[in-house]
Chains A and B, each alone.
Chain A
């Protein structure tokens, strides 16, 4: 029973972390190295708050954020598939631009007087149960899509060997666009929920770094929708209960900064656990991940 209560307590953190990591899973399964994720999450957080200040409705704002970040995913898919570009370079330069845009968009919203009109939100039992149900449904749905549908099969095929997939008549561009649209919608929704459910306001730097945690969850979960749920749970406990833990550990000189650092240390440790154990073979990364796919035009 206590575990269940604790589970309800971490529901908000679990939801946004899991959604963003699931987004990363879908994107990377299609072979796109997703280094823009942190920029997208930071930008998503800022624009979600900006929408909220304008629309004063969390649902509309979340949808608007989803659409905006999905458009970003479309851009990434097209740039890395249609053009012979390095995924890493596109991702990192986009990350820097998005960090900049996050401040550019977020500040006017944070300074706006309309901020006081945002409807109050209380984190009650019903919401948390709904969030947990959403996580469970999403995990099952994306798992079904990836492993049981034609779309999932093409996404995996394109991630493993885009050239072979292309010869078999699959449009690599179309598949990656679809995967990015799904993935980035989830990342966008995650970043909106991060603002609406967790920090509830925006200040410079909000959301920066959370994208990397989400990416680590996805990596440590072997880019598997169901396995990632467990990893996401571990992280959400750390994030949700760090202030409680400091109550116990504060006497030993542990500060909130140490806990902030700890999240990222665990992110790296989870990558090590994944890479150093047989998990690496069981959940092998897509073979074509991050490799530029560019078919030479031979007819001209």
Chain B
């Protein structure tokens, strides 16, 4: 008797749907569904009933907070899609965002405004001054934040300097890849850790604020109210984030679809030999692609500072940084979109909903008294399982599993 064997063979015929590989269309949807199921199981073991789990997941899709993640992930997805199309695996959006936060923090807290100690008796003068905000009413050393420039100019500067810092940060691994051939997936990832600790170092030294809480908790002072990004009423997303994400996305579509540079980037991803043969400097494009990717990530970092946190606080554990691991989440968005930038918003919406579901789930789980399921574990498990199932099922588009004798 011959033994049965499972073999994986290349498909001779590919089922099509609307002229495309049908399985390729189904795979992302299937992996999201299976990923949710797998997580449901993991949480069920931890004592969270599937009903609560599914309830929170569906709530994630309609929650107004989800909209912010949608725009942030669309921007980050654009940044990463450009890089991934050129086969440059930028896993360092986290670090680039952190540098964006540092850049925006420097402008917001020290250039566009400044914080000063005042005498307790002078507080009433500053309270009536239009450009001043009292940020610490300590009876000994009150602290006041004073605007140095037009708030709109300050906001623009924050975004620009944040983007610039992010771009510079991304240029380091770009340079290492272009001139020394160092794998950028590993170097961008390691650079994230450099960024986290550098951020902590800066905040606990030169960026440390004047207010009592800032001194006590190793953080900066709070950003002047006029410099903060304004949320759209009813949502948490800010006007600035909507504008930035839309601009970046459109610019990305134009770059990849309608410019010669975009074409070369795509060729670099699919056939780098051709690029070398026709005499194009590959190094230049490696630098360009990471520069753009870091620029956008830096802007997202700036908007996290000016739109969510308003202050920079030391990171206690590297698994839950202020960037909320969105840099890794965006990798999932781009891979699910099959590196097609036009699909990024669709999957940014789905993943943003799951991300928000994770946030809601954490609150619900805390309410149930399960203290040991933390936000980090919920997010990593959700992103990781969907990604893993996607990676595994993705091969079904080209291969099939057969049982032979």
Contacts A255-B201, A297-B9; is A103 near B392 (CB within 8 Å)? Answer: no
Do B318 and A97 touch across chains, with their CB atoms under 8 A apart?
Answer: no
B176 close to chain A: CB less than 8 A? yes
0 or 1 for each of B361-396: is its CB under 8 Å from A? (1 = yes): 000000000011110111111111101101110010
B379 touching A268 by the CB < 8 A rule?
no
Question: Which residues of chain A (258-300) have a CB below 8 Å from chain B?
Answer: 258, 260-261, 264-265, 267-268, 271-272, 275-276, 294, 296-297, 300
The interface residues of chain A lying within 8 Å CB-to-CB of B21 are none
Contact between A208 and B328, CB atoms less than 8 A apart: no
Say whether B200 faces chain A, with CB atoms less than 8 Å apart: yes
| Inter-chain contact A99/B384, CB cutoff 8 Å | yes
Given contacts A85-B391, A204-B320, contact A93 B384 (CB under 8 A): yes
> Judging by beta carbons under 8 Å apart, are B318 and A205 in contact?
yes
A214 to chain B, nearest CB (A): 12
Interface check A248, CB cutoff 8 A: no
CB neighbours (8 Å) of A219 from chain B are: 186
The answer on a CB contact under 8 Å between A275 and B180 is: yes
Q: Is the CB of A85 within 8 A of B395?
A: yes
Query: Could you tell me the dominant secondary structure of chain B's interface residues?
Result: helix
Q: Scan B284-327; emit 1 where CB is below 8 A from any A CB, else 0.
A: 00000000000000000000000000000010011110000000
- A111 at the binding interface (Cβ < 8 Å): yes
Q: Which A77-112 residues have a C-beta within 8 angstroms of B?
A: 79, 82-86, 88-90, 92-104, 107-108, 110-111
> B194 contacts the other chain (Cβ, under 8 Å)?
yes
What number of A residues sit within 8 Å (CB to CB) of B? 55
A209, closest chain B residue (CB): B193
Q: Which of B9, B204, B376, B402 contacts A103 (CB 8 A)?
A: B376
Contact B380 A97 (CB under 8 A): yes
Partner of A104, one of B9, B320, B373, B392: B373
Q: Does B185 contact A (CB under 8 A)?
A: yes
A257 at the interface (CB under 8 A from B): yes
Whole-angstrom CA separation of A35 from B187 in the bound complex: 11
Q: How far is the CA of A48 from the CA of B30 in the complex (A)?
A: 34
What residues of B have a CB within 8 angstroms of the CB of A271 in the complex?
176, 180, 182, 187
In this assembly, does A15 line the interface, its C-beta being within 8 Å of a C-beta of chain B? no
Q: Pick the contact of A261 from B176, B194, B384 — CB < 8 Å?
A: B194
Among residues 49 to 95 in chain A, which have CB atoms less than 8 Å away from a CB atom of chain B?
A: 79, 82-86, 88-90, 92-95
Q: A111 to chain B: which residues have CB within 8 Å? A: 371-372
- Chain A contact surface mostly: helix
Q: Does B156 contact A (CB under 8 A)?
A: no
Is B140 part of the contact surface with A, judged by Cβ < 8 Å?
no
**B247 proximal to A (CB < 8 A):** no
Q: Does A253 touch B at the CB level, under 8 Å? A: yes
B377 close to A103 (CB less than 8 A) = yes
Interface residues of A in 178-237 (CB under 8 A from B): 203-205, 208-209, 212, 215-216, 219
Determine the chain A residues whose CB is within 8 A of the CB of B46 once the complex forms.
104
Of the listed residues B8, B205, B319, B378, the one surrounded by the most CB atoms of chain A closer than 10 A to its CB is B319
Contact assessment for A97 and B388 in the assembled complex, using a CB-CB cutoff below 8 Å:
yes
Q: Are A257 and B204 in contact, with the CB atoms below 8 A?
A: yes
Question: What residues of A have a CB within 8 angstroms of the CB of B3 in the complex?
Answer: none
Interface residues on B, range: 35 or more
Residues of B within 8 A of A85 (CB): 391-392, 395
- Given A103-B376, A205-B317, A96 contacting B182 (CB threshold 8 A): no
Cβ contacts under 8 Å, B277 to chain A: none
Given the contacts A209-B193, A258-B201, A101 and B381 also touching, CB distance less than 8 Å: yes
Whether B7 sits at the interface, judged by CB under 8 Å, is yes
Report A251 CB to chain B, min CB distance, Å.
Answer: 12
Interface pair B204/A255, CB less than 8 Å apart: yes
Smallest Cβ distance from B280 to chain A, in angstroms?
23
B320, B374, B388: the one contacting A93 at CB < 8 Å is: B388
Which residues does chain A contribute within 8 Å of B283, judged by CB atoms? none
Q: Is B191 an interface residue (CB 8 A)?
A: yes
Q: Which residues of the partner chain B approach A97 to less than 8 Å between Cβ atoms?
A: 380-381, 384-385, 388
Q: What is the bound-complex CA distance between A204 and B198, given in angstroms? A: 20
CB of B404 within 8 Å of the partner chain: yes
Q: Is B137 an interface residue (CB 8 A)?
A: no
B373 to chain A: which residues have CB within 8 Å?
103-104, 107
**Do B376 and A204 touch (CB < 8 A)?**
yes
Chain A residues within an 8 Å CB radius of B390: 93
Known: A212-B193, A300-B7, A300-B404. A203 touches B317 (CB 8 A): yes
> Taking CB as reference atom, which chain A residue is nearest B179?
A276
Contact present for B201 and A92 (CB under 8 Å): no
Closest chain B CB from A191 CB (angstroms) = 16
> Does the CB pair B190–A208 fall under 8 Å?
no
B14 at the interface (CB under 8 A from A): no
Across the two chains, which residue of chain B brings its CB closest to A276? B180
User: Does A257 lie within 8 Å of B384, measured CB to CB?
Assistant: no
Complex Cα–Cα for A255 and B201 (A): 6
Q: Give 24 CB contacts A-B under 8 Å.
A: A82-B8, A90-B391, A92-B185, A97-B380, A97-B381, A99-B377, A100-B381, A101-B377, A101-B381, A103-B376, A104-B46, A110-B372, A203-B317, A205-B318, A212-B186, A212-B189, A255-B201, A261-B194, A268-B191, A272-B180, A275-B176, A275-B181, A297-B8, A300-B9
The 3 closest A-B pairs by CB, nearest first: A100-B380, A205-B317, A96-B384
User: Which of B's residues lie within 8 Å of A, judged by CB?
Assistant: 7-10, 42, 46, 89, 91, 176, 180-182, 185-187, 189-191, 193-194, 196-198, 200-201, 204-206, 314, 317-320, 328, 331, 335, 371-374, 376-385, 387-388, 390-392, 395, 398-399, 402, 404
Q: A97-B380, A257-B204, A268-B191 are in contact. List 8 more A-B contacts (CB 8 A).
A: A35-B185, A38-B189, A86-B391, A93-B390, A99-B380, A107-B374, A208-B317, A260-B197
Interfacial residues, chain A to chain B (CB-CB below 8 A) = 35, 38, 79, 82-86, 88-90, 92-104, 107-108, 110-111, 203-205, 208-209, 212, 215-216, 219, 253, 255, 257-258, 260-261, 264-265, 267-268, 271-272, 275-276, 294, 296-297, 300
